[in-house]
C-alpha cells in the first residue's frame, strides 16, 4: 500500500476535537525493540529475540491514553510491515495517529536491547538512516500540533537533519499556539556521534521548555560530572528563568521537583520490579495526564505532590510487567496501588 493511501486512511482517525482541551501531542521516534527471550544475557549470547513496540514519545502517548486521557503521536516510520504494525498499535490504544507519516525509502528503526547479567543495558541500533530521522517540516500535521494542550518531545530527533529542523519547527508551532512544552531528553549515547555533540544539542533547546523531566544520570552527564543530588547544582546549571517545573526521576526512590516558588521530594511506591523498561515513560505520562487536566498544579505545591505521587505509581506498575506499552497502567490500577500503599 502506498504512502498516500495509508496517509489517507489514517486521516480518518482524527480524535474528537471536543477533547483537544486536554490533548497531549507526543513528537519523535517509534521503533521496534528486539528483546532477548531470556534475561541476563548479552546480545551475542541471546538464543532468540521477541519484538516489541518502542520509542519513548510513543510510549508516553499510549500511557496518557491508557489513563483515560487524550493523546496523539507525530513521527515517521517506514512504509513496511513494522511501520504499519506500529500505526495499528497506536490506533488500538486510542492514540490519534493521523500525524504519522510513512517513508518509501527508509525502514522503520530497529533496536536490540538487553539487560545483561551485570545489570547494564546494552543497545544495538539499526538507523542508517531510519524513517524517523527523515521526517520533513512539510509533513507536519500543523492543525494537530496546534490543538495540543501539551506538546511533548525528546532529544533523539535532534541528532540528524532533516528531523532536527522539523522538531524545532513543531516546537515553534506548539509554542505559538499556547501549548505547554514538555521535554524529556531521554539520553541514548550510542545514537550520538559523540558525548560533546549530545550535550550541546540536548542543551540547545533547554531554555524553550516549560516542563523538563531528567534522570540522575542525565544530570551528571549534562553538568559534566557534578553531583546529581545537590540542589544547588540542579538550580544553578539546569533551572532556567522560563521553566515552570523541573522533575528529577529517581526510579524506585521517587522524584524531586523544582519550580520558581518551591522544591521538594516525593517518595516512590514500593513494588516488586520485573522490568524497568518504560517505567520512566509511564511516569511522564502520569504527570502529563494530570497537567493536561489542571495546569494549576504548577503553582500549587499540594496538588503537584499528589500528581507526582500518582506519576510515581504509574512508573512502579509498569516495572512489574515486561515491556513498555503492554505494561502501561490504567487509572484503576494506579488508584488501587495508591490505596493499598496507604493502608
Q: Which one of the listed residues 96, 132, 281, 332 is annotated catalytic?
A: 281
Q: Is the peptide bond before 276 cis (omega within 30 degrees of 0)?
A: no
∠ Cα 275 293 211 (to 5°): 65
- Is 332 an annotated catalytic residue? no
> Which residues belong to the active site?
281
Amino acid at each position: 500500500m502506498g504512502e498516500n493511501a495509508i496517509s489517507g486512511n489514517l486521516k480518518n482517525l482524527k480524535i474528537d476535537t471536543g477533547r483537544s482541551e486536554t490533548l497531549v501531542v507526543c513528537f519523535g521516534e517509534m521503533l521496534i525493540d528486539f528483546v532477548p527471550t531470556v534475561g541476563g544475557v548479552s546480545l551475542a549470547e541471546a538464543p532468540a529475540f521477541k519484538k516489541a513496540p518502542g520509542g519513548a514519545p510513543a510510549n508516553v502517548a499510549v500511557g496518557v491514553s491508557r489513563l483515560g486521557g487524550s493523546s496523539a503521536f507525530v513521527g515517521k516510520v517506514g512504509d513496511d510491515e513494522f511501520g504499519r504494525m506500529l500505526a495499528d498499535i497506536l490506533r488500538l490504544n486510542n492514540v490519534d495517529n493521523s500525524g504519522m507519516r510513512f517513508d518509501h525509502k527508509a525502514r522503520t528503526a530497529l533496536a536490540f536491547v538487553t539487560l545483561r547479567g551485570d545489570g547494564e543495558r546494552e543497545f544495538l541500533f539499526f538507523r542508517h538512516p531510519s524513517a524517523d530521522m527523515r521526517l520533513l517540516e512539510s509533513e507536519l500535521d500543523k492543525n494537530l500540533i496546534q490543538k495540543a494542550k501539551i506538546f511533548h518531545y525528546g532529544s533523539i530527533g535532534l541528532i540528524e537533519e532533516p528531523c532536527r529542523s522539523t522538531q524545532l519547527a513543531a516546537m515553534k508551532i506548539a509554542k505559538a499556539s499556547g501549548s505547554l512544552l514538555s521535554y524529556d531528553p531521554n539520553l541514548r549515547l550510542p545514537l550520538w556521534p559523540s558525548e560533546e555533540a549530545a550535550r550541546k544539542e540536548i542543551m540547545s533547546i533547554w531554555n524553550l521548555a516549560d516542563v523538563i523531566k531528567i534522570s540522575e544520570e542525565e544530570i551528571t552527564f549534562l553538568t559534566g560530572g557534578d553531583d546529581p543530588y545537590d540542589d544547588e547544582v540542579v538550580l544553578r546549571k539546569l533551572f532556567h528563568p522560563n521553566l515552570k517545573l523541573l522533575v528529577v526521576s529517581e526510579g524506585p526512590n521517587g522524584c524531586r521537583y523544582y519550580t520558581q516558588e518551591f522544591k521538594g521530594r516525593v517518595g516512590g511506591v514500593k513494588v516488586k520490579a520485573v522490568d524497568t523498561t518504560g517505567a520512566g515513560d509511564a511516569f511522564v505520562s502520569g504527570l502529563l495526564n494530570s497537567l493536561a487536566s489542571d495546569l494549576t498544579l504548577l503553582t500549587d505545591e499540594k496538588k503537584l505532590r499528589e500528581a507526582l505521587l500518582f506519576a510515581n505509581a504509574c512508573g512502579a506498575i509498569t516495572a512489574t510487567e515486561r515491556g513498555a506499552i503492554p505494561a502501561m497502567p490504567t487509572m484503576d490500577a494506579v488508584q488501587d496501588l495508591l490505596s493499598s500503599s496507604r493502608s
